[in-house]
């Protein structure tokens, strides 16, 4: 079973040396308490929880799974006790306002906490993780009474939250949703319908579960314009905050899944369940996107988490497992054979995992600062600030969710490959990481949905290419600033070429799509993956530049190997992974005829 060690050195490199979180936090209205000493203590304590409590439950939880009995769900052995420790440590409210019992820290610190927890045990992390989106939705769209009623116990962790969106017949197309909401004389609603794929919809960890539910009013317009959003608690909350009668929302079954088996994925049945509207009538889908965007960033974390977990397991095995001799000659002549880490192909696999995990982490920690500014806009009731940073984060969100989960899945599969046949055996834990990672490209919007959102909505429809132009300005700035630096010139020159090509491809797709609308769908996957490879290249170039600077100044010389490894991994990324971007560039401009000419009846001949 792979053991987890929180990569604190890399986290601190990004926070302290790359993105200057100290100055960033000092400029936030909710960042005054996030001084370096406090942040460092939080990271260290979170690492202990993850390494010593959560990680040891990962494999046993997968083997046992969840238990369903007559509507009740029991989590695997040890989960309840671990959740009690999590709540006692105040971890749930780390990044939520003090007025509701939270610690009031910036959102980015909560994301970093989630990365450590998710790497240690993704199934466990989903139980409190779904609550974060529920809290964000209530905090932004709820009434004062709803905030007073639901936020304190959610922030404390006594209650958890879910998102009840899709139904068996509609999948991502929520315009087909059929759940109904009947108005009642007291201002509440009776909700009837069945929701599927509800993570943490029922469990034994918390005393109440607050479901955020999409449903239609009787006079609602058809399609997505007729969807409203409701709070549906498992137990009705009395006026004094105590729990009342059991609401008529029940778990009909739990799914038998490929992975994340210790996370209960539920079918939730509502038969006249009491609900309370949140946001305005028929505007539930817009309000729900507060929840959905939180969940998508959280799923991007999953890509990095599984890449890191698989890398740690594969690296330890590669150092210990012996097979044959390296082609360049014996590396460990006193041993019967060389450790497989000396073989170039194994190093290729390990470096791919390392490049994905550390490159993805850099992308997330950068985007997390956007999220901090966005949340500050909400706290300060500054709509202009909120919209500015929401737009910036909105462009990166589908890249983070789509690209990083695809790459995380690749890294998880590579981990099994490093182990050879042993990677296919449960006791080593590597196949679990691959199974757990598989869902990440599917839920919260498949990679295809993220691609359409990026190209069709964020780039073409909403900004007409402006989003790419604005972000690629960062790449142009890096390239121009480092062309004269002999050591960084290869990175700088490549980044300049990519920035130019990214804008060119965007314009080409936009022009073709004006005549052939199917071009958007045909090109979107390739556009997203190309954008992901280019974005990660930019962050690897930034990390290489900072590492070069540290080595040149002699700073942190006691960890010079860390900086040398950064540069070597950046060089590997540019040489071995970045060339994939050109295949996507070529494919995205291919005529749609190659995709559409085969009639649906002629896909198979039986």
Please give the backbone phi and psi of residue 161, each rounded to the nearest 5 degrees, phi first. -130, 160
387 an active-site residue? no
Tokens of 369: 């600062």
Q: How far is CA 254 from CA 179, 269, 340, 441, in A?
A: 20, 12, 42, 21
Instruction: Identify the bridge partners of residue 267 per DSSP, sorted by sequence position.
Output: 253
Q: How far is CA 546 from CA 13, 36, 300, 540, 542, in A?
A: 10, 20, 25, 10, 6
- Active-site hit among 115, 255, 410, 444: 444
SS3 227: coil
* pLDDT at residue 300, as a whole number: 93
Tokens of 298: 């959280």
Q: Is residue 270 within 8 Å of residue 249, measured between CB atoms?
A: yes
Eight-class DSSP state of 35 = -
Write the CB contacts of 568 (distance below 8 Å, at least 6 apart in sequence). none
Instruction: In whole angstroms, give the CA distance from residue 269 to residue 256.
Output: 18
For each successive 10 residues of the chain (606 residues), what is the average pLDDT? 91 97 95 96 98 98 97 98 98 95 95 97 96 90 96 98 93 90 98 97 98 96 94 97 98 98 98 96 85 74 98 98 96 96 98 98 96 85 88 94 98 98 96 98 93 95 95 98 96 98 98 94 98 98 97 81 97 98 97 88 76
- CA 255 vs. chain centroid, Å, equals 22
Please give the backbone phi and psi of residue 561, each rounded to the nearest 5 degrees, phi first. -60, -35
Instruction: In whole angstroms, give the CA distance from residue 86 to residue 46.
Output: 10
Tokens of 587: 């494919």
Nearest CA among 339, 395, 335, 375 for reference residue 528: 395
- Cite the DSSP H helix spans in 328-429: 344-379, 383-419
Write the CB contacts of 239 (distance below 8 Å, at least 6 apart in sequence). none
- For the entire predicted model, the pTM comes to 0.96
Q: Is residue 499 within 8 Å of residue 479, measured between CB atoms?
A: yes
Greatest CA separation for the chain: 84
Beta strands 208-215 and 159-164 are parallel
SS3 211: strand
* pLDDT at residue 292, as a whole number: 65
What DSSP letter does each residue of 34-59 carry, written as one string? --HHHHHHHHHHHHHHIIIIIGGGHH
* pLDDT at residue 290, as a whole number: 67
* pLDDT at residue 379, as a whole number: 76
Instruction: Identify the bridge partners of residue 278 per DSSP, sorted by sequence position.
Output: 229
Instruction: In whole angstroms, give the CA distance from residue 439 to residue 442.
Output: 5
Please report the beta strands in 234-320, taking only residues with DSSP state E, as ranges in sequence order: 235-237, 243-246, 249-254, 265-278
* pLDDT at residue 606, as a whole number: 66
């Amino acid at each position: 079973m792979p053991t987890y060690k929180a990569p604190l050195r890399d986290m601190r490199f990004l926070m302290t040396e790359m993105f200057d979180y100290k100055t960033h936090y000092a400029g936030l209205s909710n960042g005054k308490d996030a001084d370096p000493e406090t942040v460092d203590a939080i990271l260290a304590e979170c690492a202990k929880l993850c390494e010593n409590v959560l990680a040891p439950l990962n494999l046993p939880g997968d083997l046992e799974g969840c238990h369903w009995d007559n509507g009740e769900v029991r989590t695997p052995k040890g989960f309840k006790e671990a959740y009690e420790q999590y709540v006692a440590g105040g971890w749930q409210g780390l990044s939520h306002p003090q007025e509701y019992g939270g610690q009031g820290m910036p959102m980015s610190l909560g994301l970093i906490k989630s990365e450590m927890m998710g790497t240690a045990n993704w199934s466990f992390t989903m139980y409190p993780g779904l609550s974060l989106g529920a809290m964000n939705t209530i905090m932004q769209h709820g009434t004062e009474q709803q905030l007073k009623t639901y936020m304190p116990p959610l922030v404390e962790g006594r209650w958890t939250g879910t998102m009840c969106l899709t139904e068996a017949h509609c999948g991502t197309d929520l315009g087909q949703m059929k759940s109904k909401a009947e108005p009642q004389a007291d201002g509440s609603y009776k909700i009837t319908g069945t929701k599927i794929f509800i993570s943490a919809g029922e469990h034994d960890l918390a005393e109440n579960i607050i479901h955020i539910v999409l449903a239609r009013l009787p006079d609602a317009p058809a399609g997505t314009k007729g969807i409203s959003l409701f709070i549906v608690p498992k137990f009705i909350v009395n006026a004094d905050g105590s729990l009342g009668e059991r609401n008529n929302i029940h778990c009909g079954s739990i799914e038998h899944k490929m992975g994340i088996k210790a996370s209960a994925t539920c079918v939730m049945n509502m038969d006249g369940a009491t609900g309370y509207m949140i946001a305005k009538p028929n505007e539930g889908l817009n309000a729900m996107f507060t929840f959905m965007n939180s969940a998508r960033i959280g799923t991007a974390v999953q890509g990095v988490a599984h890449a890191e977990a698989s890398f740690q397991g594969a690296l330890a095995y590669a150092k210990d497992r012996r097979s044959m001799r390296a082609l360049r000659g014996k590396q460990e002549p006193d041993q019967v054979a060389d450790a497989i880490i000396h073989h170039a192909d194994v190093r290729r696999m390990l470096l791919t995992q390392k490049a994905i995990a550390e490159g993805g982490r850099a992308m997330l920690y950068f985007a997390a600062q956007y999220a901090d500014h966005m949340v500050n806009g909400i706290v300060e009731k500054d709509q202009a600030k909120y919209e500015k940073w929401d737009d910036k984060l909105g462009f990166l969100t589908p890249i983070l969710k789509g690209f990083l989960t695809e790459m995380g899945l690749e890294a998880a599969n590579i981990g099994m490959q490093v182990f050879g046949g042993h990677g296919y055996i449960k006791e080593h834990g590597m196949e679990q990481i691959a199974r757990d990672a598989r869902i990440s490209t599917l839920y919260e919007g498949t990679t295809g949905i993220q691609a359409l959102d990026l190209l069709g909505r964020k780039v073409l429809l909403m900004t007409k290419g402006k989003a790419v132009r604005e972000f690629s300005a960062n790449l142009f700035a890096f390239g121009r600033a480092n062309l004269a630096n002999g050591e960084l010139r290869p990175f700088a020159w490549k980044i300049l070429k990519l920035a130019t090509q990214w804008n060119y491809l965007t314009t080409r797709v936009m022009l073709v799509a004006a005549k052939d609308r199917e071009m958007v769908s045909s090109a979107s996957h390739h556009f997203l993956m190309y954008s992901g490879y280019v974005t990660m290249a930019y962050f690897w170039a930034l990390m290489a530049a900072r590492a070069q600077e540290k080595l040149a100044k002699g700073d942190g010389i006691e960890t010079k190997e860390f900086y040398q490894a950064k540069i070597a991994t950046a060089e590997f990324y540019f040489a071995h992974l970045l060339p994939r971007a050109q295949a996507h560039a070529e494919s995205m401009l291919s005529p749609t005829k190659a995709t559409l000419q085969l009639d649906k009846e002629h896909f198979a001949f039986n």
